[in-house]
Amino acid sequence: MADASQTPHLFTPLALREVTLRNRIVISPMCQYSAHDGLANDWHLCHLGSFAKGGAGLVFAEATAVVPEGRITHGDTGIWSDAHADAFRPIARFIRQMGAAPGIQLAHAGRRASMQRPWYGNGPLAETDRARGEVAWPIVGPTAEPFSEGWLPPTALSEAAIGALVEAFAVAARRSLAAGFEVAEIHGAHGYLIHSFLSPISNRRNDGYGGELAGRMRLALEVARGVRTVWPASQPLFFRISSVDGMAGGWSIEDSVVLAKALKELGVDVIDCSSGGHDPRGATNSNTGRGPGFQVPYAAKVRSEAGIATQAVGLILDGPQAEAILAEGAADLIAIGREALNDPYWPLRAAQALGFDPEYALWPEQYAWWLSRRAKALARLPGRS
Protein backbone atom coordinates (compact mmCIF):
# COMPACT_ATOMS: atom_id res chain seq x y z
CA MET A 1 0.00 0.00 0.00
CA ALA A 2 1.00 3.65 -0.46
CA ASP A 3 2.76 5.20 2.53
CA ALA A 4 0.34 7.78 4.00
CA SER A 5 3.22 9.48 5.87
CA GLN A 6 4.70 10.45 2.50
CA THR A 7 1.49 11.31 0.71
CA PRO A 8 2.01 13.94 -2.00
CA HIS A 9 -0.18 17.01 -1.87
CA LEU A 10 -1.87 15.77 -5.06
CA PHE A 11 -3.10 12.64 -3.27
CA THR A 12 -4.08 14.19 0.01
CA PRO A 13 -7.86 13.93 0.49
CA LEU A 14 -9.82 17.18 0.58
CA ALA A 15 -13.00 17.70 2.58
CA LEU A 16 -15.42 20.18 1.03
CA ARG A 17 -18.34 20.52 3.41
CA GLU A 18 -19.38 16.88 3.96
CA VAL A 19 -18.00 15.56 0.67
CA THR A 20 -14.44 14.24 0.88
CA LEU A 21 -12.49 13.89 -2.36
CA ARG A 22 -9.96 11.05 -2.35
CA ASN A 23 -7.39 13.30 -4.02
CA ARG A 24 -7.00 16.79 -5.52
CA ILE A 25 -7.45 15.76 -9.18
CA VAL A 26 -10.58 16.98 -10.94
CA ILE A 27 -11.79 16.13 -14.42
CA SER A 28 -12.96 19.36 -16.01
CA PRO A 29 -16.33 19.52 -17.74
CA MET A 30 -15.68 18.65 -21.39
CA CYS A 31 -18.50 18.95 -23.90
CA GLN A 32 -18.91 15.81 -26.00
CA TYR A 33 -21.64 17.11 -28.35
CA SER A 34 -23.10 13.61 -28.36
CA ALA A 35 -26.44 13.93 -26.57
CA HIS A 36 -29.81 13.53 -28.26
CA ASP A 37 -32.45 16.06 -27.23
CA GLY A 38 -30.21 16.88 -24.29
CA LEU A 39 -30.27 13.33 -22.91
CA ALA A 40 -27.04 11.76 -21.70
CA ASN A 41 -26.42 8.28 -23.05
CA ASP A 42 -23.98 5.34 -23.07
CA TRP A 43 -21.25 7.53 -24.56
CA HIS A 44 -21.36 9.76 -21.49
CA LEU A 45 -21.38 6.74 -19.17
CA CYS A 46 -18.22 5.33 -20.77
CA HIS A 47 -16.57 8.75 -21.13
CA LEU A 48 -17.11 9.88 -17.53
CA GLY A 49 -16.87 6.41 -16.03
CA SER A 50 -13.40 5.94 -17.46
CA PHE A 51 -12.13 8.95 -15.51
CA ALA A 52 -13.61 7.70 -12.26
CA LYS A 53 -12.06 4.30 -12.86
CA GLY A 54 -8.84 6.13 -13.75
CA GLY A 55 -8.46 7.52 -10.25
CA ALA A 56 -9.72 11.11 -10.31
CA GLY A 57 -11.15 12.52 -7.10
CA LEU A 58 -13.96 14.50 -8.74
CA VAL A 59 -15.45 13.93 -12.19
CA PHE A 60 -17.55 16.69 -13.73
CA ALA A 61 -20.16 16.05 -16.38
CA GLU A 62 -20.01 18.52 -19.24
CA ALA A 63 -21.68 21.94 -19.39
CA THR A 64 -25.32 20.95 -19.00
CA ALA A 65 -28.02 23.34 -20.11
CA VAL A 66 -30.66 24.41 -17.62
CA VAL A 67 -33.11 25.19 -20.46
CA PRO A 68 -33.22 23.83 -24.05
CA GLU A 69 -32.27 27.14 -25.63
CA GLY A 70 -29.23 27.33 -23.34
CA ARG A 71 -27.40 24.56 -25.18
CA ILE A 72 -24.28 25.43 -27.11
CA THR A 73 -25.08 22.89 -29.85
CA HIS A 74 -27.72 20.32 -30.70
CA GLY A 75 -25.44 17.72 -29.07
CA ASP A 76 -25.23 19.26 -25.60
CA THR A 77 -26.60 17.59 -22.50
CA GLY A 78 -29.42 19.22 -20.56
CA ILE A 79 -31.19 18.85 -17.26
CA TRP A 80 -34.41 20.75 -17.88
CA SER A 81 -36.72 17.77 -17.21
CA ASP A 82 -36.96 14.76 -14.94
CA ALA A 83 -36.12 12.54 -17.92
CA HIS A 84 -32.78 14.29 -18.21
CA ALA A 85 -32.07 13.67 -14.52
CA ASP A 86 -33.00 10.01 -14.99
CA ALA A 87 -30.51 9.71 -17.87
CA PHE A 88 -27.71 11.00 -15.65
CA ARG A 89 -28.57 8.78 -12.66
CA PRO A 90 -26.64 5.62 -13.73
CA ILE A 91 -23.66 7.77 -14.70
CA ALA A 92 -23.48 9.46 -11.29
CA ARG A 93 -23.95 6.09 -9.60
CA PHE A 94 -21.07 4.47 -11.51
CA ILE A 95 -18.74 7.38 -10.76
CA ARG A 96 -19.48 6.93 -7.05
CA GLN A 97 -18.98 3.18 -7.26
CA MET A 98 -15.50 3.83 -8.65
CA GLY A 99 -14.62 5.98 -5.63
CA ALA A 100 -14.90 9.44 -7.23
CA ALA A 101 -17.38 12.21 -6.51
CA PRO A 102 -19.79 12.94 -9.39
CA GLY A 103 -20.16 16.61 -10.31
CA ILE A 104 -22.25 18.51 -12.82
CA GLN A 105 -21.71 21.91 -14.43
CA LEU A 106 -24.92 23.93 -14.79
CA ALA A 107 -24.81 26.17 -17.83
CA HIS A 108 -26.53 28.51 -20.23
CA ALA A 109 -24.69 29.42 -23.42
CA GLY A 110 -26.41 32.79 -23.89
CA ARG A 111 -25.45 34.45 -27.15
CA ARG A 112 -23.03 31.60 -27.92
CA ALA A 113 -25.91 29.10 -28.08
CA SER A 114 -27.29 27.50 -31.21
CA MET A 115 -23.95 26.99 -32.94
CA GLN A 116 -22.19 24.19 -34.81
CA ARG A 117 -20.64 21.15 -33.24
CA PRO A 118 -16.89 21.78 -33.41
CA TRP A 119 -16.13 19.11 -35.99
CA TYR A 120 -18.67 20.76 -38.32
CA GLY A 121 -16.95 24.14 -38.09
CA ASN A 122 -17.39 25.49 -34.54
CA GLY A 123 -19.16 28.60 -35.83
CA PRO A 124 -22.69 29.76 -36.63
CA LEU A 125 -25.05 27.09 -37.96
CA ALA A 126 -24.85 26.93 -41.74
CA GLU A 127 -26.81 25.36 -44.58
CA THR A 128 -24.87 22.11 -44.23
CA ASP A 129 -26.02 21.88 -40.62
CA ARG A 130 -29.62 22.60 -41.55
CA ALA A 131 -29.44 19.80 -44.10
CA ARG A 132 -28.67 17.46 -41.18
CA GLY A 133 -31.72 18.77 -39.34
CA GLU A 134 -29.77 21.02 -37.00
CA VAL A 135 -31.67 24.28 -37.28
CA ALA A 136 -31.07 27.39 -35.20
CA TRP A 137 -33.26 28.36 -32.28
CA PRO A 138 -33.78 31.84 -30.76
CA ILE A 139 -31.03 32.87 -28.35
CA VAL A 140 -30.65 35.49 -25.62
CA GLY A 141 -27.95 37.74 -24.20
CA PRO A 142 -27.40 40.88 -22.16
CA THR A 143 -28.10 42.96 -25.29
CA ALA A 144 -29.08 42.30 -28.89
CA GLU A 145 -25.43 42.42 -29.97
CA PRO A 146 -24.27 39.13 -31.55
CA PHE A 147 -21.19 37.30 -30.34
CA SER A 148 -19.32 38.19 -33.52
CA GLU A 149 -19.98 39.26 -37.08
CA GLY A 150 -22.14 36.72 -38.88
CA TRP A 151 -23.37 35.07 -35.68
CA LEU A 152 -27.00 34.76 -34.68
CA PRO A 153 -28.30 37.96 -33.04
CA PRO A 154 -29.71 37.40 -29.55
CA THR A 155 -32.73 38.93 -27.89
CA ALA A 156 -31.82 41.20 -24.99
CA LEU A 157 -33.11 39.64 -21.78
CA SER A 158 -35.77 41.56 -19.89
CA GLU A 159 -35.58 41.69 -16.12
CA ALA A 160 -38.53 39.28 -15.94
CA ALA A 161 -36.75 36.84 -18.28
CA ILE A 162 -33.61 37.10 -16.16
CA GLY A 163 -35.65 36.14 -13.11
CA ALA A 164 -36.99 33.10 -14.94
CA LEU A 165 -33.48 31.99 -15.85
CA VAL A 166 -32.28 32.36 -12.27
CA GLU A 167 -35.13 30.06 -11.25
CA ALA A 168 -34.20 27.64 -14.07
CA PHE A 169 -30.71 27.28 -12.58
CA ALA A 170 -32.21 26.51 -9.17
CA VAL A 171 -34.62 23.93 -10.60
CA ALA A 172 -31.76 22.33 -12.53
CA ALA A 173 -29.78 22.10 -9.29
CA ARG A 174 -32.66 20.25 -7.64
CA ARG A 175 -32.78 17.80 -10.54
CA SER A 176 -29.01 17.36 -10.37
CA LEU A 177 -29.32 16.40 -6.72
CA ALA A 178 -32.04 13.90 -7.60
CA ALA A 179 -29.76 12.45 -10.28
CA GLY A 180 -27.13 11.70 -7.64
CA PHE A 181 -24.56 14.43 -8.19
CA GLU A 182 -22.59 15.42 -5.12
CA VAL A 183 -20.95 18.60 -6.44
CA ALA A 184 -22.45 21.35 -8.58
CA GLU A 185 -20.62 24.01 -10.55
CA ILE A 186 -22.13 27.15 -12.07
CA HIS A 187 -20.61 27.99 -15.44
CA GLY A 188 -19.77 31.68 -15.37
CA ALA A 189 -16.97 31.66 -17.96
CA HIS A 190 -16.02 31.42 -21.64
CA GLY A 191 -18.34 34.00 -23.12
CA TYR A 192 -21.51 32.16 -22.17
CA LEU A 193 -24.53 33.78 -20.52
CA ILE A 194 -23.23 34.66 -17.06
CA HIS A 195 -19.82 35.72 -18.34
CA SER A 196 -21.44 37.86 -21.02
CA PHE A 197 -23.16 39.79 -18.23
CA LEU A 198 -19.95 40.07 -16.19
CA SER A 199 -17.72 41.42 -18.95
CA PRO A 200 -17.86 45.06 -20.03
CA ILE A 201 -16.99 43.86 -23.54
CA SER A 202 -20.37 42.16 -23.94
CA ASN A 203 -22.58 43.86 -21.33
CA ARG A 204 -23.66 47.30 -22.53
CA ARG A 205 -26.89 47.44 -20.55
CA ASN A 206 -27.90 50.61 -18.74
CA ASP A 207 -30.23 49.04 -16.16
CA GLY A 208 -29.55 47.26 -12.85
CA TYR A 209 -27.85 44.36 -14.64
CA GLY A 210 -25.27 46.50 -16.43
CA GLY A 211 -23.03 49.51 -16.02
CA GLU A 212 -20.54 49.37 -13.18
CA LEU A 213 -19.10 46.17 -11.73
CA ALA A 214 -21.87 45.70 -9.16
CA GLY A 215 -24.54 45.73 -11.85
CA ARG A 216 -22.62 43.40 -14.15
CA MET A 217 -22.10 40.96 -11.25
CA ARG A 218 -25.78 40.93 -10.32
CA LEU A 219 -26.84 37.97 -12.49
CA ALA A 220 -23.89 35.84 -11.36
CA LEU A 221 -24.70 36.51 -7.71
CA GLU A 222 -28.42 35.89 -8.16
CA VAL A 223 -27.74 32.54 -9.84
CA ALA A 224 -25.27 31.55 -7.11
CA ARG A 225 -27.75 32.54 -4.41
CA GLY A 226 -30.56 30.64 -6.11
CA VAL A 227 -28.53 27.46 -6.56
CA ARG A 228 -27.03 27.60 -3.06
CA THR A 229 -30.53 27.93 -1.60
CA VAL A 230 -31.62 24.57 -3.02
CA TRP A 231 -28.25 22.80 -3.03
CA PRO A 232 -27.74 21.00 0.30
CA ALA A 233 -25.59 22.73 2.89
CA SER A 234 -23.64 19.47 3.17
CA GLN A 235 -22.52 19.57 -0.47
CA PRO A 236 -20.03 21.91 -2.17
CA LEU A 237 -20.75 24.47 -4.87
CA PHE A 238 -18.12 25.54 -7.42
CA PHE A 239 -18.21 28.56 -9.73
CA ARG A 240 -16.17 28.66 -12.95
CA ILE A 241 -14.91 32.08 -14.00
CA SER A 242 -12.97 33.53 -16.87
CA SER A 243 -10.36 35.12 -14.62
CA VAL A 244 -9.46 37.58 -17.38
CA ASP A 245 -10.88 38.37 -20.79
CA GLY A 246 -7.40 38.95 -22.15
CA MET A 247 -8.75 41.84 -24.24
CA ALA A 248 -8.45 45.59 -23.83
CA GLY A 249 -11.22 47.03 -21.68
CA GLY A 250 -12.35 43.57 -20.58
CA TRP A 251 -12.84 41.69 -17.34
CA SER A 252 -9.71 41.74 -15.17
CA ILE A 253 -8.17 39.57 -12.48
CA GLU A 254 -8.97 42.34 -9.99
CA ASP A 255 -12.63 42.02 -10.97
CA SER A 256 -12.36 38.27 -10.40
CA VAL A 257 -11.12 38.82 -6.85
CA VAL A 258 -14.10 41.07 -6.11
CA LEU A 259 -16.50 38.52 -7.59
CA ALA A 260 -14.88 35.65 -5.69
CA LYS A 261 -15.29 37.48 -2.37
CA ALA A 262 -18.98 38.06 -3.09
CA LEU A 263 -19.51 34.44 -4.16
CA LYS A 264 -17.82 33.22 -0.99
CA GLU A 265 -20.31 35.24 1.06
CA LEU A 266 -23.13 33.41 -0.75
CA GLY A 267 -21.75 29.97 0.05
CA VAL A 268 -19.63 29.16 -3.00
CA ASP A 269 -16.79 26.88 -1.91
CA VAL A 270 -14.37 26.78 -4.87
CA ILE A 271 -13.55 29.20 -7.69
CA ASP A 272 -12.58 27.35 -10.87
CA CYS A 273 -10.14 29.70 -12.58
CA SER A 274 -10.19 29.57 -16.38
CA SER A 275 -9.96 32.52 -18.79
CA GLY A 276 -11.09 33.96 -22.12
CA GLY A 277 -14.22 33.37 -24.12
CA HIS A 278 -14.80 36.39 -26.31
CA ASP A 279 -12.77 35.11 -29.24
CA PRO A 280 -14.73 33.25 -31.96
CA ARG A 281 -11.78 30.90 -32.45
CA GLY A 282 -12.67 28.95 -29.31
CA ALA A 283 -14.54 29.06 -26.02
CA THR A 284 -11.41 29.18 -23.90
CA ASN A 285 -9.14 31.28 -26.12
CA SER A 286 -7.81 33.89 -23.72
CA ASN A 287 -5.67 35.95 -26.08
CA THR A 288 -2.85 35.48 -23.60
CA GLY A 289 0.35 33.48 -23.82
CA ARG A 290 -0.44 29.79 -23.52
CA GLY A 291 2.18 27.61 -21.90
CA PRO A 292 2.22 24.91 -19.21
CA GLY A 293 0.13 26.12 -16.27
CA PHE A 294 -0.58 29.47 -17.93
CA GLN A 295 -3.73 30.05 -15.82
CA VAL A 296 -2.25 28.99 -12.49
CA PRO A 297 -1.36 32.59 -11.48
CA TYR A 298 -5.07 33.47 -11.66
CA ALA A 299 -5.94 30.69 -9.23
CA ALA A 300 -3.11 31.79 -6.95
CA LYS A 301 -4.21 35.44 -6.86
CA VAL A 302 -7.89 34.65 -6.27
CA ARG A 303 -6.98 32.16 -3.53
CA SER A 304 -4.67 34.62 -1.80
CA GLU A 305 -6.72 37.78 -2.08
CA ALA A 306 -10.29 36.44 -1.83
CA GLY A 307 -9.53 33.82 0.82
CA ILE A 308 -11.36 31.05 -1.01
CA ALA A 309 -10.31 27.65 -2.34
CA THR A 310 -9.41 27.63 -6.03
CA GLN A 311 -9.06 25.14 -8.82
CA ALA A 312 -6.20 25.52 -11.29
CA VAL A 313 -6.67 24.45 -14.89
CA GLY A 314 -4.91 24.88 -18.21
CA LEU A 315 -2.02 22.87 -19.68
CA ILE A 316 -1.24 21.03 -16.47
CA LEU A 317 0.55 18.15 -18.07
CA ASP A 318 1.88 15.73 -15.46
CA GLY A 319 1.97 14.76 -11.81
CA PRO A 320 5.15 16.59 -10.80
CA GLN A 321 3.85 19.85 -12.32
CA ALA A 322 0.51 19.42 -10.52
CA GLU A 323 2.27 18.59 -7.25
CA ALA A 324 4.41 21.73 -7.48
CA ILE A 325 1.31 23.92 -7.98
CA LEU A 326 -0.27 22.54 -4.82
CA ALA A 327 2.95 22.58 -2.83
CA GLU A 328 3.49 26.29 -3.48
CA GLY A 329 -0.07 27.07 -2.38
CA ALA A 330 -1.28 28.33 -5.75
CA ALA A 331 -4.46 26.25 -5.71
CA ASP A 332 -6.36 23.61 -3.76
CA LEU A 333 -7.43 21.46 -6.71
CA ILE A 334 -5.93 20.53 -10.07
CA ALA A 335 -8.25 20.17 -13.04
CA ILE A 336 -7.28 18.35 -16.21
CA GLY A 337 -9.21 17.97 -19.43
CA ARG A 338 -7.49 17.00 -22.64
CA GLU A 339 -4.72 15.26 -20.73
CA ALA A 340 -7.41 12.95 -19.38
CA LEU A 341 -8.76 12.36 -22.88
CA ASN A 342 -5.26 11.36 -23.90
CA ASP A 343 -4.92 9.11 -20.85
CA PRO A 344 -7.93 8.41 -18.61
CA TYR A 345 -5.50 6.89 -16.10
CA TRP A 346 -3.58 10.16 -15.74
CA PRO A 347 -4.23 10.31 -11.96
CA LEU A 348 -2.91 6.80 -11.37
CA ARG A 349 0.13 7.40 -13.56
CA ALA A 350 0.74 10.68 -11.70
CA ALA A 351 0.83 8.75 -8.43
CA GLN A 352 3.49 6.46 -9.82
CA ALA A 353 5.46 9.37 -11.28
CA LEU A 354 5.54 10.82 -7.76
CA GLY A 355 6.71 7.47 -6.32
CA PHE A 356 3.49 7.11 -4.37
CA ASP A 357 1.96 3.88 -5.70
CA PRO A 358 4.66 1.45 -6.89
CA GLU A 359 2.50 -1.59 -6.10
CA TYR A 360 -0.62 -0.44 -8.02
CA ALA A 361 -2.63 -0.25 -4.80
CA LEU A 362 -4.68 2.69 -6.10
CA TRP A 363 -5.70 0.92 -9.30
CA PRO A 364 -8.98 -1.00 -9.61
CA GLU A 365 -8.28 -4.47 -8.30
CA GLN A 366 -9.37 -5.95 -11.62
CA TYR A 367 -6.33 -4.23 -13.17
CA ALA A 368 -3.93 -4.05 -10.23
CA TRP A 369 -3.41 -7.81 -9.96
CA TRP A 370 -2.29 -8.01 -13.58
CA LEU A 371 -0.32 -4.80 -13.76
CA SER A 372 1.71 -5.44 -10.61
CA ARG A 373 2.82 -8.78 -12.01
CA ARG A 374 3.52 -7.23 -15.39
CA ALA A 375 5.75 -4.62 -13.71
CA LYS A 376 7.73 -7.33 -11.92
CA ALA A 377 8.13 -9.31 -15.13
CA LEU A 378 9.32 -6.23 -17.01
CA ALA A 379 11.83 -5.48 -14.26
CA ARG A 380 13.42 -8.91 -14.81
CA LEU A 381 14.02 -8.29 -18.51
CA PRO A 382 17.63 -7.70 -19.55
CA GLY A 383 18.55 -4.03 -19.28
CA ARG A 384 15.44 -3.13 -17.21
CA SER A 385 16.87 -3.55 -13.75
Instruction: Name 382's Cβ contacts closer than 8 Å, sequence gap at least 6.
Output: none
Residue 102 C-alpha from the chain's centroid: 12
Question: Which backbone phi and psi does 376 adopt, to 5 degrees?
Answer: -65, -40
Type of residue at 286: S
Residue 46 C-alpha from the chain's centroid: 18
> Pseudo-torsion of CA 207, 213, 219, 224, nearest 10°?
-160
Q: Strands of the chain (E only): list them.
A: 14-16, 19-21, 25-27, 58-65, 101-107, 140-141, 155-156, 183-188, 237-242, 270-274, 309-313, 333-336
Helices (H) and strands (E) in the chain, counts: 12, 12
345 is catalytic: no
Q: Alpha-carbon distance 43 to 91, whole Å?
A: 10
Catalytic residue among 192, 209, 298, 345: 192
Catalytic sites, residue numbers: 192
